Chain A
């Protein structure tokens, strides 16, 4: 008799999703899927709005990474204005993006995934959360909280508030940076860099304990996509698109934002509201690719800052196609974000007052791409002659990873789930593979505590054979 195991909702991720696992007569896993169970409708309801509202409107897609949407949207709007924004505005936008990535990575690593990494995949779920972590390793948690706070404070200092600042606008940013605020941010950075380095050193030792997970957490060849700077270092805001295969072969290089439609196409699957983008020249579903920290590490020569470069040497010794190493990559990026912020704040023109280009709309189509914490984020708008939106296409970072997450669930389920005897630890691993991608399925977080996780074993006739409740 075949059975289906449903994990609903998936916990300690951002947004709503469930996982279903199909078992055959002997209890072996035959198939598994990752389902995103919510629909948002942003692309539709922004139609008819003035394009200047787009950064603020689309930032509401997410409360964790509003800055990422602000940036991709503002870049698309820069395209509609057809202006080159002032160099200082570019640098300031970069700093806010780095702060955004840092705070989000701190959330993902320390709050959401560290309970699995430190307490173990099989730990009691009542303890396997940030509070349990505090009892075991308060220093690590304190550091994580501090890193997230630092990122959020930088955002607040630049934009006036931590969530949904309206500082990033089409044409640049609305206010220049003051000397006082620059010095305030600079004063926070040494401690943050120190904490990030300590966490990295700890995890670089720890990672070798997860041999089985590394082998089975979406460990398969895929393509990797992301932005890369002209010097082949990390580019979180600027840079051009690059697509690299698992064997290191560069399939696309120096592709401009406007070319994205020749690289990516999207497929709709009946089991999920999240579309499945794929690399167009290879087709569906073989054109599976990954974005985000792991992908970024796999497309660059080196990050480009001192400590991040040192940590990258460690990364190079790892099995670089396992999604388990998103965690490792995330820690390298935490270092990079704070180090790079320091570099940018020391630029001589960072306090320049000219931070906004003024123009009327000069083009009716614009594409903006930037790197969100979770990967490449694409905003594409068309407007009518009056500047009202007629079309919007948003490819969210997490969406890019949909195929890889879906396939990763199957791989890890096959390895760990045995239908004859269900236990918490095996199902937690199925969730943990999703957590490794740090998906942001919407703007809601299920960060802390006991989620009402219920796993049902369902017979083909719909009868519930077994239930496991958390």
Chain B
């Protein structure tokens, strides 16, 4: 491990060379929006919301999946990045069926929060209005695929923290969706332990506890970081 110094948004910062741009930015109070990233889980780099500009490359790099190096110069907040991020959010809204006003997570939704933070007040791409279903076969929980943004946090927490690997991503391209076991109803799953971790880490109202009405679903995902840290200490 070596300590490196770099610039983020023209500020001199330092960190270890095994840290990511996102980690260093957060340590220094620099906000980079994320959706698929969750402290304690492996890196997916799926949502592309954390893309940043790095001097010396014309490509935008995901802050969550890019290690820092000595002398790096990073910009996290340019007009171009804001425009890209806004478009990403608009496409997420257009790709599913997100009706905030009647959603269980209204007011407690990370997709909604990101949209507000980025000033998304209109959707500039055509809505797809896909025909998706709700799986409410599980005794305690439900999944509404209309609200799923495929961040795969549920897949990772189930595999990496709970160790059950009930969730996975099935099918390809625009048809891709999260599935339980071999794409069988959640309620029939032999592997699901009903722990509810997937529900707690889901950033939207896609995964929810049954019996919740509009706006009643609040989630606590901090436990992941804590659990992982405690296990690390024990081993």
Contacts and interface: CB of A to CB of B under 8 A. Distances in A.
Interface string B88-109: 0000000000000110101000
B134 A388 contact: yes
A360 B215 CA distance: 19
Contact of A166 (B134, B137, B142, B215): B215
A50 B142 contact: yes
Contact of B210 (A52, A60, A166): A52
A388 B136 CA distance: 7
23 contacts: A48-B133, A48-B134, A49-B134, A50-B134, A50-B144, A50-B210, A52-B104, A52-B212, A52-B213, A53-B102, A53-B104, A53-B213, A56-B213, A56-B214, A57-B102, A60-B101, A60-B102, A166-B214, A166-B215, A169-B213, A360-B210, A386-B142, A386-B187
A147 B130 CA distance: 45
Given A56-B102, A170-B211, A360-B210, 10 more contacts: A49-B134, A50-B134, A50-B142, A52-B213, A53-B104, A55-B213, A60-B102, A358-B211, A386-B187, A387-B210
Interface of B: 101-102, 104, 106, 133-134, 136-137, 142, 144, 187, 210-216
A49 B214 CA distance: 12
Nearest to B215: A166
A53 B216 CA distance: 11
A388 B213 CA distance: 14
A348 B104 CA distance: 33
B16 to A, nearest CB: 46
Contacts of A49: 134
Contacts of A386: 136-137, 142, 187
A164 interface: yes
Contacts of A169: 213, 216
A53 B213 CA distance: 6
Interface string A16-56: 00000000000000000000000000000000111011011
A174 interface: yes
Interface of A: 48-50, 52-53, 55-57, 60, 164, 166, 169-170, 174, 358, 360, 386-388
A360 B210 CA distance: 8
The DSSP consensus for interface residues of chain B is loop
Contacts, number: 49
Contacts of A358: 211
A48 B134 CA distance: 7
A227 to B, nearest CB: 25
A85 B102 CA distance: 23
Contacts of B136: 50, 386-388
A56 B103 CA distance: 9
A387 to B, nearest CB: 6
A53 B101 CA distance: 11
Contacts of A174: 213, 216
Contact of A170 (B104, B144, B213): B213
Contacts of B101: 56, 60, 164
Contacts of B212: 52
Contacts of A166: 106, 213-216
B211 A360 contact: yes
B184 to A, nearest CB: 14
Contacts of A53: 102, 104, 213-214
Nearest 9 CB-CB pairs, A to B?
A56-B214, A386-B136, A169-B213, A166-B214, A56-B102, A57-B102, A166-B215, A52-B213, A386-B137
Contacts of B134: 48-50, 388
B42 to A, nearest CB: 31
A387 B134 CA distance: 11
Nearest to B186: A386
Contacts of B216: 166, 169, 174
Contacts of A57: 102
A106 to B, nearest CB: 26
Counting chain B CB atoms within 10 Å of each CB, which of A49, A50, A387 scores highest? A50
Contacts of A360: 210-211
A358 B214 CA distance: 16
Nearest to A389: B134
A57 B106 CA distance: 13
A358 B212 CA distance: 11
Contacts of B133: 48
Contacts of A52: 104, 210-213
A174 B134 CA distance: 24
A253 B19 CA distance: 75
Nearest to A167: B213
B136 to A, nearest CB: 4
A60 B216 CA distance: 18
A72 to B, nearest CB: 15
B221 to A, nearest CB: 22
A177 B33 CA distance: 38
A365 to B, nearest CB: 17
A402 to B, nearest CB: 28
Contacts of B102: 53, 56-57, 60
A441 to B, nearest CB: 21
Nearest to B102: A56
A169 B216 CA distance: 10
A174 B144 CA distance: 23
A25 B214 CA distance: 58
Contacts of A55: 213-214
A55 B214 CA distance: 9
Nearest to B107: A166
A170 B214 CA distance: 11
Contacts of B187: 386
A310 B212 CA distance: 44
B169 to A, nearest CB: 23
A337 B204 CA distance: 40
Nearest to B144: A50
B12 to A, nearest CB: 46
B97 to A, nearest CB: 11
B86 to A, nearest CB: 27
A358 B106 CA distance: 21
A50 B187 CA distance: 15
